[in-house]
Amino acid sequence: FLHVYHHCGMVVAAWICVKYYPGGHGTFIGLINTFVHSIMYTYYLLSSMKINMKSWKKHITQLQMIQFFIVALHITQLFWTDCEYPKWTAFVLIPQNVFLLLLFAEFYYYAYVKPTNSATSTELKGNSVSFDPNDKVKIT
């Protein structure tokens, strides 16, 4: 849900910004998003070259959460500055970024913070995990 919702929302928001409101606040959002995606795609490149980048995953998610916070904070400027960028966009983009921040925080919690009582993932400290029919965990 997080991935699909995020990218569908980005397509709609990007189209509206480019079509009706080029420049201004939308430029900052695009700039910070490009920075974050450059780091993400560097991670994907290095991972595809079989370079161990697992420690980056947690930090990339943290970076994405920081991005949504900064963007929401940046958009609040529309309430106290006298620029020509439409203020209604703040009423759409601030809740959108807060919602994305919460979705990413939930993902972060379940992926990196919450302790697992049973081995339900495919990896456990770098080892592969499989299950036998008697629900016994077998680490190889």
Catalytic amino acids? 6
| CA–CA dist 7, 9 (Å, integer) | 5
Which H, E and C letters describe 44-105, residue by residue?
HHHHHCCCCCHHHHHHHHHHHHHHHHHHHHHHHHHHCCCCCCCCHHHHHHHHHHHHHHHHHH
